[in-house]
Amino acid sequence: MARPPASPSARKAGPVTLGMVAEASGVSPSTVSRILNGTAVVSAEKKAAVDRAIAELGFVPNPIARGLAGGRTMSIGVITQFIDSPFFGVAMRGIEETLSEAHYSALFVSGHWDVEVEQRCIDTLMGRRVDGMIILNGRVGDAALRQLAKQVPTVVTGRSIKAPNVYAMDYDHREGARLATQHLIARGHRDIAHIGGDQSHSDARERLAGYQTALEAAGIPFRPALVECGNYLEEGGRQAAERLLASPQRFTALFAANDQMAMGAAVALHKAGLRVPQDVSLVGFDDLALAMHMTPPLTTVHQASLELGRLTAQALLEMLAGGKPTLKLPEPRLVERDSVAAVARSIGR
């Protein structure tokens, strides 16, 4: 009877090597390698013998050696901006899940929204011979990206770029923002303020554009004084809301370009004695896990972050397999919760 395979971490001395498997099953190392990789057809009996030896010895191929031998390292570099981002964190989970199912490991690094840091991350990752790269809303230029893609297949989000060996996936931020604003308009709001993101990011510009589009479609003039920008963080949202509150502008609704800023804005509103949604309606963007647990639960535009992670990983996997991915992100959709109220129609007052 075959002894149950020993857990690798329970092994005593040096790890079981491919060579040991070869010896134990009476074939050459090359044959074992072939079986492992499906590189060539091997006679059934030898394969059986090897498989048994692998199981008995509890052999696990060494990715390091594999990588050195010019083969693949079975690892994928993933660049995010901050590893503790509530939005990208979920995407990373999706990436990790999908990748590990395919026996790949993800190497997560943070670019800190800084081109140079990000470039260094890329260099580090390439030094570790990753087989592919996923860049979540990176800041490096398209040129650097093309350069990178010459070495490994690359999937990027947050930008549209057409280049060999690069697959770009992005949300329709504009449409999402339009939806949010339109929802407010449909509830009777006309004085709608917007807290935008850092306008050097295309997604922030798109969201602003979507806001404008909805306004225009409803025949409401766009008033620049009603938009203040933050940095996509709670604090920035709070400050932007405070500026709005301090200005002479009046508004009955607020559309924040992401949930974190919406959260910050909610605090500012609260401190100013304004209630959500009775005094001002609030809509966010992203649908972070916490959106539904805010008080009141936040109406927001759903971005499938887990899906985003899964799909980017899946796309990369397809490229690694020599295919051409055609995956697309789901359409944005509004999630209605309790932070929006209708404005009372003030007919002929």
Partner DNA sequence: TTGTAGGCGTTATCAG
Partner DNA sequence: CTGATAACGCCTACAA
Tokens representing residue 29 in the block: 């190392």
For the CB of residue 244, give the shortest distance to a copy of itself in the complex, in Å. Answer: 17
CB 254 within 8 A of CB 265: yes
Question: Considering all CA atoms of the chain, what is the largest pairwise distance in Å, rounded to the nearest integer?
Answer: 95
Burial category of 8 from C-beta neighbours within 10 Å (exposed 0-12, middle 13-18, buried 19 and up): exposed
Selected binder of DNA within 7, 10, 12, 14 (CB under 7 A): 14
Q: Which is nearer to DNA, 34 or 159 (CB)?
A: 34
- In 85-182, which ranges are E strands? 105-110, 132-135, 154-157, 166-169
Q: Does 30 bind DNA (CB under 7 A)?
A: yes
Q: How many other CB atoms are found less than 10 A from the CB of residue 90?
A: 20
Q: What, of a copy of itself, DNA, none, does residue 31 touch, CB below 5 to 8 Å by kind?
A: DNA
CA-wise closest residue to 139 among 123, 119, 168:
119
Contacts of 186 (CB under 8 A, 6+ apart): none
* Token couple for 72: 């693949």
290 binds, among DNA, a copy of itself, none (CB under 5 to 8 A by kind): a copy of itself
With residue 64 as reference, give the H or E element that holds it.
helix 63-68
Instruction: Verify binding: residue 24, DNA, rule CB under 7 A.
Output: no
Is position 10 an interface residue for a copy of itself (rule: CB under 8 A)? yes
- By CB under 7 A, residue 37 contacts DNA: yes
First to last CA, the chain: 91
- Residue from 66, 139, 183, 337 touching DNA (CB under 7 A): that is 66
Choice between 26 and 323, CB closer to DNA: 26
One symbol per residue from 287 to 326: x for binding a copy of itself (CB under 8 A), - otherwise; what is it?
Answer: --xx-xxxxxx-----------------------------
- Least Å from the CB of residue 148 to DNA: 18
Q: Which is nearer to DNA, 59 or 255 (CB)?
A: 59
Q: For residues 65-84, which are near a copy of itself according to CB under 8 A?
A: 65, 67-68, 73, 75, 82-84
Q: In sequence order, what E strands does the chain have? A: 75-80, 105-110, 132-135, 154-157, 166-169, 192-196, 227-229, 253-256, 281-286, 299-302, 333-335
Smallest gap from residue 128 Cβ to a copy of itself (A): 6
- Binding characters for a copy of itself, 130-169, by CB under 8 A (x = yes): --------------x--xx--x------------------
Instruction: Map residue 41 onto helix, strand or coil.
Output: coil
| Helix or strand run (H / E) with residue 68 | helix 63-68
User: By the criterion CB under 8 A, which residues form the site for a copy of itself?
Assistant: 7-10, 60, 62-65, 67-68, 73, 75, 82-86, 89-90, 92-93, 96, 105-110, 119, 122-124, 126-129, 144, 147-148, 151, 234-235, 238, 263-264, 266-267, 269-270, 276, 289-290, 292-297
The residues that touch DNA, with contacts defined as CB under 7 A, are 14-15, 17-19, 26-34, 36-37, 39-43, 46, 59-62, 65-66, 68-71
